[in-house]
Amino acid sequence: METPPVEILYEDNHVIAVVKPAGALSTHYQGDEETTDRLVKAYLKEKYGKPGKVFLGIVHRLDRPTSGVLLFARTSKAAARLSEQFREGSIEKVYWAVVEGEVGRAAGSLEDWLMKDEQRHRVEVVEPRTKGARQALLHYHLLGSHGDLSWLEVRPQTGRTHQLRVQLAHHGYPIYGDAKYGSVHTFAPHIGLHARSLTFLHPVRYEPITLTAEVPRPWRGRFAYLLAQGATT
């Protein structure tokens, strides 16, 4: 069999997890653009010789410029149970973020209220309890700094659209390469945001599983000085 077009992190009869590359869409809506879910379906269809359509449950997504762990369900039962874990916030998500600016505190939490601006296709921070806004909470830990860049480990407690990108930028630390939210650097198709790990309960065996994705190769060149300071990549 040919090498799969996506990097498989974990696979069994109930779930499959891959490393989503920066620049790729997590899932398709319309059109012919190659997306991560379509690539995974093609991989499963070829590997198992499945006739007809291949079921793949979408339980969460990553923004197009974000890389890292992306989890799918292989059965409707697994999809329902994993989606419930995401809704309840019981899945532990860990991101690595390279941001502009020197983060002065070694650790902290950010709490904001976010609202989608549908016309501008972006998310804004608004006054607390604004009608239609949703509360967003994240916790961060400083892993390293070099020049005007800081490397953070971020654990979102909520799962809002563009949450990490918006909150960090609002507090003066836009994610590297994220021009949509104020970065002055270019890093396309990447931004300095990587879904480092995901911990969930297996939907059938109910045992905890932690999956970890290595940082993309371009990070190792662009952020070599930062990465050398902290956790092993």
Nearest to 56 by CA among 29, 27, 30: 27
Name the active-site residue from 37, 63, 112, 178.
Answer: 63
Provide the 10 A C-beta neighbour count for residue 217. Answer: 8
> 63 catalytic, yes or no?
yes
- The alpha carbon of residue 153 and the mean position of all alpha carbons in its chain are separated, in whole angstroms, by 13
Q: Which residues pair with 68 in a beta bridge?
A: 20, 195
Contacts of 160 (CB under 8 A, 6+ apart): 114, 123, 134, 136
Rounded Cα distance between 30 and 16, Å, is 23
Token reading at 94: 């860990």
Number of helices (H) and strands (E) in the chain: give both, helices first.
5, 11
Active site residues: 63
